[in-house]
Amino acid sequence: MFSVIIYGRNDSHGYNLHKRAAISLNAIAEVMTHPDDELLFVDYNTPDDHPTFPEAIHDTLTDKAKSRLRIFRVRPDNHVEFQEKTHLVALEPQSRNVALRRSNPSNRWILYTNSDVLFVPRDSIASLSDIFAELPDGFYETPRFEIPEMLWEAAFDRLDPVGNLAKLREWAPKFHLNQTVQNVLPMRYDALGDFQLALREDMFAIHGFDESMILGWHCDTNLAARLALYRGGPETLVDKVFAYHCDHTRVQAANNKGRQTKMNSLQRYHWELTTPFLEEQAATWGWPEREIEEIQLNKDGLFSRFATGISSTIAPAKEPYRTTTLESYAFNDLTYDLAHTLPFVCDQIVTYARTSNVMIVASRPDFVSYFSKAWKEMGFFGQVLVPAECEHIPADADQFEKAALADVVRRADLFIFEFGYLSQKREDPIRTGRLPSAADAKALSVVEAIFKRTASSEASTRPVNRRTPRRFVGINVINNAAWDTFSTLINATLTPFCCQVAAGFAYTGNSGQNKRQKWLQRLNPFAGG
């Protein structure tokens, strides 16, 4: 019957977005009753090492919401072309068009809204599906009412959409919430973007949202004006459904800076508008040629992939806990517990695209083999790449590909560098003050040399068409001599010793490195010796 299109990213966008969005998504799903109804969430520009926003709040979503939800992940590499043109980190027209292009073609209606809106049918036993089924062709809006923060934050239960909708029916008259704010046609109402119902075929005919509107604001006004030229209207559904918005204006959002707010030109995109069509983007709107990942929470959760990767690779621990030390005698001992460390490595990379290629440079052959297996078991089908210069790593075509550094570095989407002892066995005791053998020292020197070469040239060796920096994951680089090597070139977050993993991006330019060096000299947080 209808597709709801929402966009966002894994951030706070003002205040307590996690709760607002869970309340909204659950409530919208609750008023869907047709089998084809769907919630389309475009996760735009969430960092690669983060889960999408719906994945981050999955535990606060109802089973019904999860079953209706389709997530389209637009990764940061797709946003690079806009970075110099806009202050925004999430773009509305691009996001909405990506979802529109990929919406269920059997659905008649597209409903545009945002991630903190609830819909209350005036008839308590009707669903939105029931209401939309009886509508004649057209373009429809309904006024937006505001919910004070104290009501939705203090009194709404994220996992009780039925109760929340019932509270709105009770509280709306009690607290005088319902006030329509009229606007000039074709806008009809203020804040019209929280409920715009259009025919899917009409949206395709006019070529979607205008993708030149990259400064924020007035995208909904532009759409209303163009649909009015094409279809007429808009008509109102105020007699059938109310829309309520969870107010969050105590804290400024990224696109709201008061009088300093940057906006798309209302003059250009509304008052001077003469045609509903966007011929300049007729073939490109919604990025039909780009591969956009789709995620469904009820089928493909990050946890299940992570758990499968680990449990398929390493056996459960037999002892209640294991012990290591930060005492000075162990500072230069690079032995570590691989079984304990592997889950933290996987945690760093499981959110990346499944098509990603990862380059591994390591001292320990068993780390490469164990990680390669976990990588495949987590559902990645990109390559595990090992430079041929790592002669101490045996070639194993079944698990990874080995080729010259100059080749694999230009194919890698992220990097893993492991600093350990070639000679260490899984059963060996760790951090006892053990010094490297000659073979260990040779392998480490290879790892260090490749690391320095790769980190210092990251920008110039990116794969063709890749526009964002690649991430470096360091294994066993905490509280030992490897920290200085790794952190001099990588802007790594300080992490607890227990996880054995640090990660970040390569510094760009000498100034960044010099600042890092000075900071290290002052702080030297891991000078355990």
Instruction: Please give the C-alpha separations between residue 81 and each of 76, 285, 373, 385, in angstroms, as whole numbers.
Output: 10, 15, 35, 28
In this structure, is residue 345 part of a structural domain? yes
- Which of 237, 267, 291 is the endpoint of a domain? 291
Is 0.75 surpassed by the pTM of this model?
yes
Residues 449 and 355 grouped into a single domain: yes
Helix 161-174 vs helix 17-30: crossing angle, to nearest 10:
100
Give me the pLDDT at residue 529, please.
34
Residues 171 and 136 grouped into a single domain: yes
Residues 324 and 188 grouped into a single domain: no
Give me the pLDDT at residue 182, please.
85
Query: What distance in Å separates the CA atoms of residue 374 and residue 212, rounded to the nearest whole number?
Result: 42
Query: What distance in Å separates the CA atoms of residue 459 and residue 467, rounded to the nearest whole number?
Result: 9
For the chain, the residue count is 529
Give me the pLDDT at residue 525, please.
41
Residues 276 and 340 grouped into a single domain: no
First to last CA, the chain: 67
Residues 316 and 373 grouped into a single domain: yes
Per the DSSP assignment, residues forming a β-bridge with 506 are 490
User: Among candidates 363, 366, 371, 501, which has minimal Cα distance to 437?
Assistant: 363
Residue 8, token pair as written in the block: 């966002």
Query: How many structural domains compose the chain?
Result: 2
Cβ-proximal residues to 437 (8 Å cutoff; 6+ apart), any chain: 421, 422, 423
In this structure, is residue 270 part of a structural domain? yes
Residues 128 and 203 grouped into a single domain: yes
- Which of 272, 291, 310 is the endpoint of a domain? 291
Query: What distance in Å separates the CA atoms of residue 457 and residue 453, rounded to the nearest whole number?
Result: 6
In this structure, is residue 363 part of a structural domain? yes
* CATH number for 519: 3.40.50
β-bridge pairing 117-121 and 384-387: unpaired
Residues 18 and 156 grouped into a single domain: yes
Sheet order of strands, 117-121 included: 117-121, 241-246, 144-147
Domain housing 204:
2-291
Residues 260 and 319 grouped into a single domain: no
In this structure, is residue 342 part of a structural domain? yes
Q: Tell the residue number behind the tokens 């600093």, with chain if given.
A: 419
SS3 171: helix
Residues 286 and 327 grouped into a single domain: no
Residues 282 and 306 grouped into a single domain: no
User: Among candidates 449, 465, 525, which has minimal Cα distance to 493?
Assistant: 525
- Which of 291, 324, 342 is the endpoint of a domain? 291
SS3 106: coil
Query: What distance in Å separates the CA atoms of residue 302 and residue 14, rounded to the nearest whole number?
Result: 26
> Is the separation of the CB atoms in 274 and 228 below 8 Å?
no
Q: Tell the residue number behind the tokens 């609830």, with chain if given.
A: 118
Give me the pLDDT at residue 46, please.
97
In this structure, is residue 529 part of a structural domain? no
* CATH number for 284: 3.90.550.10
In this structure, is residue 307 part of a structural domain? yes
Residues 61 and 124 grouped into a single domain: yes
Give me the pLDDT at residue 259, please.
67
Query: What distance in Å separates the CA atoms of residue 249 and residue 58, rounded to the nearest whole number?
Result: 25
Locate all alpha helices (DSSP H) within 136-288, ordered by sequence: 149-155, 161-174, 200-205, 219-230, 266
In this structure, is residue 251 part of a structural domain? yes
In this structure, is residue 528 part of a structural domain? no
Mean pLDDT per segment of 10 residues, for the chain of length 529 residues? Answer: 96 88 98 98 97 96 97 97 93 98 98 97 95 97 94 96 97 94 85 94 98 95 96 94 91 67 91 96 97 89 93 94 92 95 96 96 96 96 96 84 96 97 94 96 97 96 92 95 94 91 87 48 39
Residues 283 and 368 grouped into a single domain: no
> Is the separation of the CB atoms in 309 and 350 below 8 Å?
yes
Long-range pairs for 407-412 at CB < 8 Å and ≥24 separation? 408/359, 409/359, 409/454, 409/457, 409/461, 410/461, 410/462, 410/463, 411/357, 411/359, 411/383, 411/385, 411/463, 412/357, 412/358, 412/359, 412/385, 412/463, 412/470
